[in-house]
Chain A
């Protein structure tokens, strides 16, 4: 058994486990922590695929997001708030049915797709950041710029909304 396979097995177990616990936990902070486990394990899976930059961005973006989500979870819910057990009976049966059909469709789709041969990359290339950078600033420069404008608008919008609230008080 190769180390990559073992790592993949552990990481995928943690990814799925985190997601399952995220659903089954009843307290907000527990959910957020298990969501964090999922996100960090996904970053590990990216590393196995030699996509270091994506992996690190995953951690950088989502661990920050998780912290903020947790803060909101703490501030906006009661300390001992526990979610209800959820619906029983008929609803559960239909939910299971829909999920099973969805799984079947996905499984069928994945099995019947002809995947293109993965592009050969240089083994142990020191960095794929450079390639990503070049692509982003030449081939994909317009989507990149549009995204930047979108983020800027969101930023300015957030500031204006926060400003209005403090003025009215």
Chain B
């Protein structure tokens, strides 16, 4: 895959790029379909219900039917909405979500681009989504979606700071921002143990970045008139939902790579003939399950407590984590 990028451009390798991207898109769509199904199932079980079980065997086709319904719905648009931006906003929200997957090393061999600054690439691209959110809120020409868009923008910009800060500890320990090197540096011990403080901050900030419980204020239709996507329906609404779940895919991969040792086997199980991608998928699914678990457990944050928590709670902890990591590393290097 990486060799392909170094060749000179020809029809053959351009079409290979397209095929590879489409395959990744199909994998992601499959993941999203069944993530939604399992989300409903798992939450159902935790609340002593059965969850979806009518469409197809065990309800396996439930999401497929739901998505079909969304796609067949009439595409409504408020009369005075800004036509161009109303159409552009879902694209702005979704495109970076898919683009961040380009740097993820899913195993030793499966990776699209091996960037030296993989971590920063993720952080930079994911911040473009905020633009899509504000655009959606403004273009709908509805005061509730505008307020919702502002709220989401404040949330995503604020929580991005502790998210980046918590990763700095990992970067300090590895001495590189390349995702592949970060995984290789975890051969002895996964980053989650020495970086437990950074890991906790990262997990909390990631919940807020993903707009998931307990920070799912854009979905708080009962108390806050939902958020930036109130006016959206049908296909465009599906794009926003898809972006959210694709971000879950991206964030799951990132957590696995940064803190859980990527494709490396756990507990010294290296001798087993299991390919790295299987370990990766297992760790990744653990994170996804954690999302559903949280959603079934936690109540929602109050909007006025949201930002103080990021600035007064998470950010100082992340800074302390950087300080501790830096001191320990300089002590080990004998420069202190």
Contacts and interface: CB of A to CB of B under 8 A. Distances in A.
Contacts of B120: 53, 56-57, 60
B153 A29 contact: no
Contacts of A6: 9
B335 to A, nearest CB: 13
Contacts of B131: 33, 36, 63, 66-67, 70
A129 interface: yes
Contacts of A66: 131
A63 B8 CA distance: 32
Contact of A129 (B84, B116, B153): B116
Interface of B: 6, 8-9, 14, 82, 84-85, 88, 114-117, 120-121, 123-125, 127-128, 130-131, 134-135, 138-139, 141, 146, 150, 153, 157, 176-178, 181
B124 A56 contact: yes
Contact of A74 (B130, B146, B157): B146
A64 B164 CA distance: 14
A148 to B, nearest CB: 15
Nearest to B121: A56
A97 B336 CA distance: 63
A128 B134 contact: no
A29 B135 contact: yes
A64 B157 contact: yes
B138 A67 contact: no
A127 B88 contact: no
Most central of A56, A63, A71, A129 by chain B CB within 10 Å: A56
A78 B121 CA distance: 36
Contacts of A87: none
Contacts of B130: 63-64, 67
A25 to B, nearest CB: 10
Nearest to A47: B115
Nearest to A53: B117
A48 to B, nearest CB: 13
Contact of B116 (A36, A59, A128): A128
7 contacts: A3-B14, A6-B9, A33-B135, A56-B124, A63-B131, A74-B138, A126-B116
Contacts of B9: 1-4, 6
Interface of B is mostly: helix
Contacts of A3: 8-9, 14
Contacts of B82: 29
A124 B177 contact: no
Contact of B117 (A33, A79, A124, A129): A129
A40 interface: yes
A40 B96 CA distance: 12
A129 B120 CA distance: 11
Interface string A66-81: 1110110010000100
A30 interface: yes
Given A3-B9, A74-B138, A127-B117, A60 B127 contact: yes
Contacts of B150: 71, 74
Contacts of A74: 134, 138, 146, 150
A77 B150 CA distance: 15
Nearest to B114: A126
Contact of B153 (A2, A60, A71, A124): A71
B183 to A, nearest CB: 14
Q: 6 smallest A-B Cβ distances: which pairs? A: A127-B116, A3-B9, A59-B124, A60-B124, A56-B120, A56-B124
Contacts of B146: 74
Nearest to B14: A3
B316 to A, nearest CB: 16
B123 A60 contact: yes
Interface in A90-136: 124-130
A52 B117 contact: yes
B176 A127 contact: yes
Interface string A1-36: 111101000000000000000000000011001001
Most central of B114, B116, B121 by chain A CB within 10 Å: B116
Nearest to A43: B124
B177 A127 contact: yes
B312 to A, nearest CB: 14
A63 B121 CA distance: 13
